[in-house]
Amino acid sequence: MGKTFQKPQALSDTPTHYCPGCTHGVIHRLIAEVIDEMGIRGKMVGIAPVGCAVLAYNYFTFDFQEAAHGRAPAMATGIKRVRPDLMVFTYQGDGDLASIGMGEIIHAANRGEKFTTIFVNNAVYGMTGGQMAPTTMPNQRTTTSPMGRNVAEVGMPIKVAELLSSLQTPAYITRQTVIKPKYIVKAKKAIRQAFEYQLAGKCYSFVEVVSTCPTNWGLTPVEAVKWAETTMLPYYELGDKKVPD
């Protein structure tokens, strides 16, 4: 039968500013659940991005830093190098991680910095109103690709999990999604695995989470789930891309 379900302690009571149906809320909750279950709230430091999740720090009940756009992996590097005992994660979106922050994420992963990145991939720049992202799908209409992403002009979407997996430094690199309950359960396990690797001081860990953006896709939350499933998942394949030896 059932089990009880309550808001985790690592999540604050504050109702979020995210749009109805935005999967940021699910991902925040999973992170908080894992933190509660591992009992590590007292040594957590989260790093908020610039993006829809810029106010992420309002929704968690542990230490948080606010990074400049794209620079969270550098800040996380600074923290882990001086305080390796702290548990650190960066929470980043398409623009933050895959555009302006591409240099920082590749180098942090390549150095094997022992923090965790949660990468929210919803194929668009949410906060600034729906512009094209490096992860926007071919022919996807956005406010800066009104005729649809023209891959002849701007290239194909970037598969960040695969890109990072090409680095030689051991890491845990995985792609998950939270668009349906069956995937959410797996995503939580992956986040748990990532934090376990960090707790053991083993490697860099990266969890890409295919997510929806109903508002900027111009779809209802339920339609957005369908679009993500039919258009994004065939391209952004789920699963572990790399595990440390």
Partner 1 sequence: MSYRHTIDVDRCKGCGLCVAVCPKHVLEIASELNAKGYFPAYQARPQDCVYCSTCCIMCPDVAISIVELAEETV
Partner 2 sequence: MKKVLMKGNEAIGEAAIRAGCLNYFAYPITPQSEVAEYLSKRMPEVGGVFLQGESEVAVGYMIFGAAACGARVFTTSSSPGISLMSEAISYIAGAECPAVFVNIMRGGPGLGGILPSQGDYLQATKGGGHGDYRMLVMAPASVQEAAEMVMQAFPLAEKYRNPVMILGDGLIGQMMEPVMFPDHLRTEPSNKDAWATNGMDTRRSDKRNLVKSLYLDPNVLNAQNLKLKAKYEQMKREEIRFEAYHTEASYEALIVSYGTMSRVCKTAIDNLKEEGIEIGLIRPQTLFPFPEMAIRQACDRPECRVVLSIEMSMGQMLEDVERSVQGKKPVEWYGKCGGEVPTPEEVMDVVRSFLKQYGKE
Q: Which residues bind partner 2 (CB under 8 A)?
A: 41-45, 47-48, 54, 57, 60-68, 71, 73-79, 81-83, 85-86, 103-104, 107, 111
164, 170 Cβ separation under 8 angstroms? no
Q: How far apart are CA 87 and CA 40, in angstroms?
A: 8
2 binds, among partner 2, partner 1, none (CB under 5 to 8 A by kind): partner 1
Residues 181-220 that bind partner 1 (CB under 8 A): 181, 184-185, 214, 220
Residues 43-72 that bind partner 1 (CB under 8 A): none
Across the strands, what pairs with 27? none
Residue whose CB is less far from partner 2, 8 or 157: 8
Helix runs in 10-141, H state only: 24-38, 72-82, 102-111
CB of 119 to partner 2, least distance (A): 18
24 binds, among partner 1, partner 2, none (CB under 5 to 8 A by kind): partner 1
49, 92 Cβ separation under 8 angstroms? yes
Q: Helices 181-199 and 24-38 meet at what angle, rounded to 10?
A: 50
Q: Does 17 bind partner 1 (CB under 8 A)?
A: no
**Among 107, 114, 46, residue whose Cα is nearest residue 74:** 107
Number of residues that bind partner 1 (CB under 8 A): 29
Q: Does 15 bind partner 1 (CB under 8 A)?
A: yes
